[in-house]
Structure 1
């Protein structure tokens, strides 16, 4: 079996309040890029996980990896020998680990079927995991696990992801949020909601990694109709009306930055 773990981006991410349980009440617009990590699996005596790829070295505990936890959380028959090709940077706002777990859920669904409570099992692994299981554009509320479908008028939109190669953990970014509720998402379709939206974690992330501002300024010069930081950073994205604009922008980015050109699913 082979499955792509599609990179997640947040077209908008509105933080509404801090909750009593320590989490945050969110409204977010999930979208997915048609590229990401790649997982393959074959039958084995017992479950195993091998990590390769450009960013594989960032995962120093494969058995504590979310992929292993996803496998353990689902009935999948005999053992699976899983290889994770880690193409997405870690701690990058792209839901990389959640996307990997989502890919495992799809592989189990296709081979054995998922249990009825799969959504709850996915949510236990991480707030982004339920959205990453389907990997289609949707609205997320609560901590991001309460999903609502939305018509996808942005499917096929050219997108460029750029990361300054600086990991940024989610916890400190949320901790640095100023606590101000700047209002709900508005609009009648994905494009309107994305343009009218914002990422409330962008400002606190900038205080921790100032290079995010360099990435955003570079992308704003490339003819994109939307540039924004994804998730808790430090990856930023740009959306284009034409693929040639995206491809020219990729070439124009500084050599030291990580880039990925694709299209929205």
Structure 2
């Protein structure tokens, strides 16, 4: 049995423009991945099947509409092999959470089946297939700090990046990405700020530059799901967080903390006040500098 981790994708920053002629929105986003997410397994079997479990698996279809199944079918067709595998998906990432759960699952399926079917394709080839299914899938194939541009399919890996201790908070609301982008298009042009590296690559310098940037979808997402405003306010309330922002198109928000002790204290208070919320402590692994020999 082959196992692949499908980590939650977090947009530390997100700039976007009005819809293009092809129906997509241009984006520019700094993306990291958490040490928490879904898990996918793949093993040999007759035909192609998908079973779903986990705390967030109840509302996820296991039919051909699932991105995992679509990715498997497309890879088999592109490689000229039989689409035969038993796939299992354990869901921890909520649907419509702004954490790229479906894309992460599809990317994990592509990596797993690439191994199961002994294709030995590089990630760049898998990304070409993934981009036809969803704009976030190429980023999720790498699952490491990177910058997304274009409609999200253009990837530039970040060679050096600090690690962060963080908290993911979702108020139990699923937000449809399409509705958020529609609300964005209905608003006047914003004055958001993209990420610019003005200082060093140490943790505090990068945090300062992240705080100067924005997520352009925050206001339209809050209009679609007002609960998001409350989450952001509570994360910022006691001043212990070094960065507070919404991820992607919402509804999940995140806060970055100086250390796990401060984070865990904030998590305990939030759980006590909002037992129905998802409050998940995480780490965002970085990319250490390469010291020349």
TM-score, normalized by length of structure 2?
0.85
Task: Report SS of the residue matched to 2:13.
Answer: strand
Deviations 1:201-227 (A, max 9, x none): 000011111110111111113511001
Q: Using the alignment, how far apart are the partners of 1:165 and 1:48 within structure 2? A: 29
CA shift for structure 1 position 249: 1.3
In the other structure, the counterpart of 1:211 is 227
2:158 is equivalent to residue 144 of structure 1: no
Q: Using the alignment, how far apart are the partners of 2:263 and 2:23 within structure 1? A: 39
CA shift for structure 1 position 108: 3.0
Cα contact 2:50–2:86 (8 A) shared by 1: yes
In the other structure, the counterpart of 1:40 is 41
Q: Using the alignment, how far apart are the partners of 2:126 and 2:178 within structure 1? A: 26
Cα contact 1:29–1:194 (8 A) shared by 2: no
CA shift for structure 1 position 133: 0.3
In the other structure, the counterpart of 2:250 is 233
Within 5 Å, give how 1:49-88 maps onto structure 2.
49-75=50-76, 79-88=84-93
CA shift for structure 1 position 60: 3.0
Deviations 1:24-60 (A, max 9, x none): 1111111100110111122111211001111111113
2:120 is equivalent to residue 100 of structure 1: no
- With over 3 angstroms needed to count, the CA separation of the structure-2 counterparts of 1:179 and 1:149, relative to structure 1, is farther
CA shift for structure 1 position 106: 2.1
Deviations 1:137-181 (A, max 9, x none): 1011111111112234222x1111000001100001001112515
Cα contact 2:166–2:254 (8 A) shared by 1: yes
In the other structure, the counterpart of 2:169 is 162
Cα contact 1:50–1:62 (8 A) shared by 2: no
CA shift for structure 1 position 18: 2.3
Q: Using the alignment, how far apart are the partners of 1:161 and 1:121 within structure 2? A: 30
2:276 is equivalent to residue 259 of structure 1: no
Q: Using the alignment, how far apart are the partners of 1:251 and 1:162 within structure 2? A: 12
Identify unmatched segments of 5+ residues in structure 2.
286-293
Q: Using the alignment, how far apart are the partners of 1:117 and 1:151 within structure 2? A: 21
- With over 3 angstroms needed to count, the CA separation of the structure-2 counterparts of 1:21 and 1:7, relative to structure 1, is same
Within 5 Å, give how 1:127-206 maps onto structure 2.
127-155=135-163, 157-177=164-184, 178-182=187-191, 183-188=193-198, 189=201, 190-206=206-222
In the other structure, the counterpart of 1:89 is 94
Cα contact 2:207–2:243 (8 A) shared by 1: no
- With over 3 angstroms needed to count, the CA separation of the structure-2 counterparts of 1:114 and 1:244, relative to structure 1, is same
Cα contact 2:107–2:137 (8 A) shared by 1: yes
Identify unmatched segments of 5+ residues in structure 1.
none
Aligned length: 264
> Greater Rg, structure 1 or structure 2?
2
